[in-house]
Amino acid sequence: MTYKRSDLKKIIMDTKTLPTLPVVINKLNSLSDDEKSSVQEMSRIVSSDQVLSARILRLANSPSYGFHRVSTISNAMILLGVNVVKSLALSSSIFAIMEKESVGLWEHSLGVGVAANLIARKLGLPECEEIATAGLLHDIGKIIISLKCSEAEKDIFELVRERHIYALEAEKEIIDTDHTEVGGWLSKSWFLPDKLSEPIAFHHDVAKSHNHRIKTAVVHVADVLIKASGFGNSGDSFVPPIQKIAWDTLKLNEQLLVELVDEIEDKLVEVKNFSLEMMSD
Partner 1 sequence: MQKIPLMLAKAGMKLSRDVFRGNSPIGIPICGKGTELTDALIARLENMDIHTIHVEGHPVWVDGERSFDDYLSELDGRFSKTLHEPLNVMLYDIYKAHLIKSMGGGSDLQAE
Residue ranges in contact with partner 1 by CB under 8 A: 61-63, 164, 166, 224-225, 227-230, 237-242, 244, 247, 254, 257-258, 261-262, 265-266, 269
- Residue pair 204/221 in contact (Cβ under 8 Å)? The answer is no
Q: Tell me how many degrees the CA angle 52-57-58 measures, rounded to the nearest 5.
A: 95
Cα dihedral 54, 99, 140, 49 in deg (nearest 10): -20
CB of 53 to partner 1, least distance (A): 19
CB of 103 to partner 1, least distance (A): 19
Residue 243, CA distances (Å) to 153, 218, 219, 222 in order: 27, 11, 12, 12
Nearer to partner 1, 23 or 276 (CB): 276
Selection from 88, 43, 93 nearest residue 70 by Cα: 43
Give the up-direction half-sphere exposure of residue 35: CA atoms within 13 A in the CB hemisphere. Answer: 0
Cα–Cα distance measured from residue 85 to residue 62, given in angstroms and rounded to the nearest whole number = 14
Residue 215, CA distances (Å) to 81, 120, 182, 220, 221 in order: 20, 8, 19, 9, 10
CB of 252 to partner 1, least distance (A): 9
- Residue pair 263/136 in contact (Cβ under 8 Å)? The answer is no
Nearer to partner 1, 258 or 279 (CB): 258
CB of 240 to partner 1, least distance (A): 7
- Residue pair 167/179 in contact (Cβ under 8 Å)? The answer is yes
CB of 228 to partner 1, least distance (A): 6
CB of 64 to partner 1, least distance (A): 9
Cα–Cα distance measured from residue 134 to residue 193, given in angstroms and rounded to the nearest whole number = 10
